[in-house]
Amino acid sequence: MDIKNIGIAGAGIMGSSMGQIFASYGYKVVIYDLFEKALEPARQRISQALDALVSKNEMMAEQKKNTLSRISFSSDMKSLKDCDFLVECVVEDMGIKHKFFEQLSEIMREDAIIASNTSGLSITKIAESVKNPARFAGMHWFNPPHIIPLIEVIKGDKTAQETADIIYDISLKIGKKPIYVNKDVPGFIANRIQLAVMRECVYMLENGIGTAEDIDKCMKYALGFRYACIGPFEVVDFGGLDTFYHVADYLWEDLSDAKKPYGLFKKLIEEKNLGVKTGKGFYDYSGDKAKKALDRRDKLFLTLKEAKLEN
């Protein structure tokens, strides 16, 4: 399928960044948001992100101009009618997504490919409001989208393999590392791994086994360090299945199998300590600490990205 025109629905954190990426790879992009007031901040975010690339000599000023000229912004859903491919990035609410897709189905061509960037809502359930659900799948990006390479392509019960393949191919074309999620399970693949790790980390913190700093160091300087280069199955292959089998045999039964995130996690939420955005989470982000932490994060992410990991 020849995809030229791309629609992004939802001009928030994810949608604006995706629009920038598609446009920088030569696609014509329409960024649509229900709320007119969301459009100017999105345009500014894109412009600032492109300026940062120009100042680091990763993009020529001319390329920035061309990228911006390929993006249009609209609060009129009809602006999406000529799109060959659309990624939905509206708020994570099944009711809102259903209403959006019902309206969209009246506007878009029936053969246009449609994807949702939902973090974890069921693709099969979202598809109930999509006309011709064979052309619909999940396309799960990671924040910040311009840095993190992975994209999960999730097949719902009615997704055609061809649809998943088209989304996979376009992900490759924009320099991403796509994977297929063959079953529409909660959390897809990445969030299942992430939340399993998080459950154990919170359990260890609650039980005084280590401090947040030391548990994070364990990930950064051993496990995560390794996982940036080889995955968990490769780790086991290199270490020896017999060794890992023996460890799993005595350790799995001792790991947290908590069914709900109650305890410390819930307490922090109840105290409105939501992390960087409120100035406190597991760590303190008061004053300029949040900006410093974000700058440090993005600098390190970019260093890793520049290492050009293969496979």
Residues found near ligand NAD in the complex (CB under 6 A): 9-15, 33-35, 38, 89-92, 96, 100, 117-119, 141, 143
Minimum CB separation of residue 93 from ligand NAD in Å reads 8
Torsion region of 174: left, alpha or beta (phi above 0 gives left; psi -120 to 50 gives alpha): alpha
Q: Is 191 a catalytic residue?
A: yes
Report the nearest approach of ligand NAD to the CB of residue 143 (Å): 3
Residue nearest to ligand NAD (CB): 12
Instruction: Output the six-digit token pair for 261.
Output: 């995130």
Is the peptide bond between 186 and the residue preceding it cis, with omega within 30 degrees of 0? Answer: no
- Catalytic site residue 213? no
Catalytic residue among 16, 88, 117, 140: 140
Nearer to ligand NAD among residue 84 and residue 88 (C-beta): 88
* CA angle, 188 then 113 then 30, to 5°: 105
Choice among 119, 122, 132, 273 that is catalytic = 119
Would you say 258 or 304 has its CB closer to ligand NAD? Answer: 304
Give just the sign of the alpha carbon dihedral 53, 40, 11, 272. positive
The one catalytic residue in 75, 191, 200, 273 is 191
User: Residue 128 or 206: which CB sits closer to ligand NAD?
Assistant: 128
Q: Which of 150/215 has CB closer to ligand NAD?
A: 150
Residues annotated catalytic, as ranges: 119, 140, 152, 191
